[in-house]
Amino acid sequence: MAVLVTGGAGYIGSHMAWALLDAGEEVVVLDRLSTGFRWAVPPAARFYLGDVGNMDLLAQVFAENRIDAVMHFAGSIVVPQSVAHPLEYYDNNTSKTRLLAEATIAAGIKHFVFSSTAAVYGDQPDDAPVLESAPLQPKNPYGQSKLMAEIMLRDAASAHDFRFVALRYFNVAGADPQGRTGLSTVGATHLIKIAVEAALAQRSGVDIFGTDYPTPDGTGIRDYIHVSDLVEAHLRALSYLRRGGEALIANCGYGRGYSVLEVLQTVMRVSGESFDVRYGPRRPGDAASVVANATLARRLLDWTPRHDDLEVIVQTALAWERHLMERKIGDLRELRQRLATAAF
């Protein structure tokens, strides 16, 4: 049986595709390549170019492959963009998840793993690591769009022969330790990506969004989780569903938070480079502190993180960024050669 990975040309989806293949699974990727890259899809995966909201294409993908589980990564993920373009987020993250769930159920496929987010929690009354049972009060359309998708999946699982695991990701960072894939999105806005770009002189420095949060150093606190540990949690979720596990929503994080300043210091230390740090105002939609209590995933999914170390996260992110730079230089060289030999 095969696993359908939507968004498999993107950051987390491509790590998932590699991890599934490493685990001996057959992999089918569906991606419209709006932010992902065809080269990020492992050669052994079967690739379909298209949108997860295209019902005809979904029917074709399900008819042409023996798929027993869907892992749904395709979606939009930038908080400030969601504040500026909420309806796009509700379309891409909520409506299209509804369509995908409908097509999945219609095809008789029972297992669904969904990329959810810690953004469903918003600001919590205290700084304690957040449990799945905490009040759900997203501060931005991104979090709302994912929460609505969770609710739909829950109701669909009650009504149909269909079970799902929604994993609420905290801050995913780092890259495949084997260097096969990493965060390659052009114009990515995530802190560790921005900081490693600054360390490698790819940008002029880093702006800190807010220094007046109620945290020890005034900057925002997040629970950064290595992407390889995250995809491992998905593999565990897949086995859980295949052995009959009930619908489950679980946090994926390490249970420890780092401030923006601590992250920047770690990037400087690990890279041996310093860069400009500019102190600025808060970014709209941001919460002060978001840290996971992930005991549920550890217990029910038997998930044990193996890269729980900010330095390792930063090291792998740096290695991938260097690889991207070499790639860019290679592309430029090739372009120059083509231009030199082209007949005008």
For binding to ligand UDP (CB under 6 A), which residues are involved? 79, 171, 189-191, 194, 206-210, 220, 222, 260, 283, 286
Report which residue's Cβ sits closest to ligand UDP. Answer: 220
User: In whole angstroms, how close is the CB of 294 to ligand UDP at the nearest point?
Assistant: 16
Task: Name the helix (H) or strand (E) containing 252.
Answer: strand 248-252
User: For this structure, is 142 an active site residue?
Assistant: yes
**Tally of CB atoms within 10 A around 219:** 22
For Cα atoms 246, 250, 251, give the angle at the middle one, nearest 5 degrees.
Answer: 170
Distance CA 244, CA 92 (A): 30
> Where do the H-state alpha helices sit in 163-226?
191-199
Sign of CA dihedral 29, 35, 39, 42: negative
Buried b or exposed e, range 31-56, using 16+ CB within 10 angstroms: bbeebbeeebbbeebebbebbbbbee
Query: Which CB atom, from 178 or from 189, has the smaller least distance to ligand UDP?
Result: 189
User: In whole angstroms, how close is the CB of 288 to ligand UDP at the nearest point?
Assistant: 8
Cβ 185 vs Cβ 35: under 8 Å: yes
Distance CA 19, CA 1 (A): 16
Query: Which CB atom, from 235 or from 260, has the smaller least distance to ligand UDP?
Result: 260
User: In whole angstroms, how close is the CB of 129 to ligand UDP at the nearest point?
Assistant: 15
User: Alpha carbon of 250 to those of 114, 132, 336: distances in Å?
Assistant: 11, 6, 50
User: In whole angstroms, how close is the CB of 215 to ligand UDP at the nearest point?
Assistant: 9
Name residue, tokens 């990515």: 188
For Cα atoms 188, 320, 234, give the angle at the middle one, nearest 5 degrees.
Answer: 75
Catalytic residue among 48, 89, 90, 142: 142
Burial of 273: CB neighbours in 10 Å, binned 0-12, 13-18, 19+: middle
**Tally of CB atoms within 10 A around 87:** 11
> Helix (H, G, I), strand (E, B), or coil: what is residue 216?
coil
Distance CA 37, CA 335 (A): 19
User: In whole angstroms, how close is the CB of 111 to ligand UDP at the nearest point?
Assistant: 27
User: In whole angstroms, how close is the CB of 79 to ligand UDP at the nearest point?
Assistant: 5
User: In whole angstroms, how close is the CB of 140 to ligand UDP at the nearest point?
Assistant: 9
Give catalytic residue positions. Answer: 142
